[in-house]
């Protein structure tokens, strides 16, 4: 858990994280630190897992997809498997959840996904750290330390709010699978 | 002479970089293996070095990758923890006791045959419990 919000803000806006947050008036830390899920899971509303292509405990990737290459299209396909569709603007729509997908300027692979609150304000979970409110655009870009940068948005996607139940269903299924695993583990 | 006295004493924090995480206050621990008849503590130097090396690698790994959502294990400090194999395990165990951590992946790589769960299904919290059980059964913790 973060010692205090002030220290989290100081850390996140430091030179080795996201220095552009220092001048971002919308920047706000909105949660405790949580290592159990990442930004992609947050955007997909699957807060019981880490959504990426790594083969390790706690990590998950839609099974029908290529689990080797973290390409931009790979992430779009992953969101499509959870009923998201491509969208050409970030204007909020009452019946839809919208997300922004980020890519790395050098590797061109995906790096991050954020929930869109309004045209100018996003809500992001930062890896295994906190979730924050921040401005849109490239405030999560760090031109000095390219290994930590999130880069810029390459795709907006949206999903009807009705499909939040689909995410909930996946969480429930996984919960039962875990209980089953526990029982087998005790036998 | 009192033999077999063994405990971890709290000591100074390693490194000088800013870390805002309470659970990453990995302190350099010195194992006092015995106290002789004159009350002089005998310190296990190897243990102190291993503890310091682990604390340093763990903090640097987290500092470089904690804010990332992809490729978190493609990191030289994480690889160094794994490369030291069983020497790292007591310190990984100490971190696991504090809460869920991605160091579980280091255990999966150090003990591939003990990883008896379905990685796609199990949550980090449950994997942590599973590994705590496995490690507590081992005598070397």
Q: Which of A47-56, A89-98, A101-110, B18-27 has the lowest mean pLDDT?
A: B18-27
Q: Spell out the residues 6+ positions from residue B20 whose beta carbon is closer than 8 angstroms to its own.
A: A2, A3, A7, A8, A10, A11
CA distance B32 to B6: 6
Q: What pLDDT score does B93 carry?
A: 94
What's the pLDDT at A1?
Answer: 40
Residue B2 lies inside a defined structural domain of this protein: no
Residues of chain B found within 8 Å of residue A36, distances taken between Cβ atoms: 100, 123-125
Q: Do A57 and B23 touch (CB under 8 A)?
A: no
Domain span at B41 = 7-137
In what side-by-side order are the strands of the sheet with B30-35? B7-9, B30-35, B41-43
pTM exceeding the 0.80 threshold for the entire prediction:
yes
Does A67 have pLDDT greater than 60?
no
**What distance in Å separates the CA atoms of residue B59 and residue B45, rounded to the nearest whole number?**
21
> Which element (helix H / strand E) includes A51?
strand A50-51
| Chain B interface includes A186 (CB < 8 A) | no
Token couple for A156: 């907006």
Q: What is the pLDDT of residue B32?
A: 56
Q: Which residue reads 């006791």 in tokens?
A: B97
Residue B1 inside a domain? The answer is no
CA–CA dist A89, A104 (Å, integer) = 21
Q: How many contacts (CB atoms, under 8 Å) link A and B? A: 114
- Which pLDDT score, from 0 to 100, does residue B95 have? 94
Number of domains in chain B: 1
Among partner residues B64, B69, B115, which is closest to A39 by beta-carbon distance? B69
**C-beta separation of B29 from B8 below 8 A:** yes
Residue to substitute from B61, B65, B70, interface A, most A β-carbons within 10 A? B70
* B101: closest chain A residue by CA: A35
A144 at interface of B, judged by CB pairs closer than 8 A: no
Tell me which residue in A8, A35, A113 faces B124 most closely, judged by beta carbons: A35
Answer whether B118 touches A (CB < 8 Å): yes
Considering only CB atoms, B124 lies closest to which of A17, A58, A174, namely A58
B76: left (phi over 0), alpha (psi -120 to 50) or beta: alpha
Q: Which of residues 8-47 of A touch B (CB under 8 A)?
A: 8, 10-12, 14, 16-18, 33, 35-36, 38-40
Residue A42 scores a pLDDT above 90: yes
The alpha carbon of residue A75 is apart from the nearest alpha carbon of chain B, in Å, by 11
List per-residue pLDDT tens for chain B, 141 residues long: 333 323 233 333 333 344 555 555 555 555 555 666 666 666 677 778 888 899 999 999 998 898 888 878 989 999 999 999 999 999 999 999 999 999 999 999 999 888 778 887 888 988 999 899 889 888 655
């Amino acid at each position: 858990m973060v010692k205090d919000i002030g220290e989290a803000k100081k850390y996140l806006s430091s030179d080795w994280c996201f220095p552009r947050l220092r001048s971002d008036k919308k920047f706000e830390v909105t949660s405790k630190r949580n290592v159990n899920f990442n930004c992609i899971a947050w955007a997909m509303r699957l807060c019981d897992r880490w959504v990426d292509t790594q083969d390790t405990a706690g990590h998950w990737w839609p099974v029908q997809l290529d689990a080797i290459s973290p390409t931009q299209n790979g992430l779009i396909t992953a969101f499509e498997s959870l009923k998201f569709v491509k969208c050409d603007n970030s204007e909020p729509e009452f019946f839809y959840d919208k997300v922004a997908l980020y890519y790395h300027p050098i590797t061109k692979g995906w790096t991050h996904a954020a929930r869109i609150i309004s045209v100018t304000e996003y809500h992001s979970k930062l890896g295994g750290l906190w979730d924050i409110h921040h401005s849109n655009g490239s405030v999560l870009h760090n031109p000095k330390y390219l290994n930590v940068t999130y880069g810029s948005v390459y795709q907006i996607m949206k999903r009807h709010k009705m499909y939040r139940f689909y995410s909930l269903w996946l969480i429930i299924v996984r919960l039962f699978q875990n209980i089953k695993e526990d029982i087998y583990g005790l036998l | 002479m009192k033999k077999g006295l063994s405990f971890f004493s709290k000591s100074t924090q390693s490194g000088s970089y800013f870390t805002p995480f309470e659970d990453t206050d990995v302190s350099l621990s010195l194992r006092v293996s015995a106290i002789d008849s004159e009350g002089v503590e005998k310190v296990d130097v190897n243990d102190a070095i291993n503890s310091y090396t682990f604390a340093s690698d763990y903090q640097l790994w987290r500092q470089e990758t904690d804010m990332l959502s992809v490729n978190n294990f493609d990191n030289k400090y994480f690889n160094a923890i794994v490369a030291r194999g069983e020497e790292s395990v007591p310190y990984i165990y100490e971190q696991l006791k504090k809460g869920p951590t991605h160091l579980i992946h280091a255990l999966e790589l150090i003990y591939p045959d003990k990883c008896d769960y379905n990685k796609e299904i199990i949550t980090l919290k449950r994997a942590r419990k599973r590994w705590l059980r496995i490690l507590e059964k081992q005598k070397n913790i």
